[in-house]
Amino acid sequence: MQAIDMHVHVPRQPGLPEVGIEAELRSYFRVSSMPENAGEMADKYRELDIMGVIFSVDTETTTGEPPDTNDYVAGIVKDHPNQFIGFCSIDPWKGHAAVLELERSVTSLGLKGLKLHPVHQAFYPNDTRFYPLYAKASELGVPVLFHSGFAGAGSGTPGGSGLKLKYSAPIPYIDDVAADFPQLTVIMAHPAWPWTEEQIAVALHKSNVYLDLSGWSPRFIPEALKREINTRLQDKVLFGSDYPYITPDRWLRDIDHLDLREHVLPKVLLENARKVLNLT
């Protein structure tokens, strides 16, 4: 295994309609085709000798659309255990039911983390109404992955399709969560432009905070973040593609644009993810 891709979206669960944001994301990332099924996705990762962290995003409260189930994600992992690790996705607005679903997903389904998307799910991460969810994740010893920064969905549409970027600022929202739950591993998904320097500050300030590089080709990652990856953040940064919108092979083709030092490259591609995921 040459790398762990920390940011992989599963194909839509069979029998469920396409979610509304899919067309917007395909347009933003200029993706002409999507994987037909999980087997096709697994074949790609097997060929590349990469393991992927897979998940969906449950936006049922904000969109009314039925989510891919965590059982579906766990089933993909069961079918392809050498290729995938699964995170659950939970709608934080579901209150105590969300906490119970997190516990079930980890203890019964074997999923290894929690994916949240403050923009799509329309919530401030530091709203204390959601703190029981983080407390349960901390108790279970699983990381929480938060979308941060700009969002491809809604980009270039009138009103951004109603999506509000304010929810994804690292400070104060993710910073507060990391401070209030010091035993919780927090991962900020994506270079958090236009709050890149805030993201760097939070990751430097708090040892329980990491970030992944998904959703951006390495050639376009902000220069301030590129500098820190090679120096102060070399143990805090994780490779992620944002498959299928950016594929891992496309991302890796551009990796030379990061100008990573020889000893930093394996940390970003593999070693830091092993640490976050508690892999031996």
Extents of the domains making up the chain = 3-277
Query: At a CB cut-off of 8 Å and minimum separation 6, what does 204 contact?
Result: 228, 232, 233, 236
pLDDT of residue 32: 59
Task: Check if the beta carbon of residue 196 is closer than 8 Å to that of residue 153.
Answer: no
Which residues of the chain register pLDDT less than 70?
19-36
- Going from the C-alpha of 15 to that of each of 33, 148, 202, the distances in angstroms are 19, 30, 41
CATH 3.40.50.2300 describes domain 3-277: no
Q: What distance in Å separates the CA atoms of residue 34 and residue 40, rounded to the nearest whole number?
A: 10
Structure confidence by residue, pLDDT tens digits, 163-217: 999 999 999 999 999 999 999 999 999 999 999 999 999 999 999 999 999 999 9
Whole-model pTM: value is 0.94
pLDDT of residue 233: 99
Task: Check if the beta carbon of residue 142 is closer than 8 Å to that of residue 112.
Answer: yes
The β-bridge partners of 238 are 212
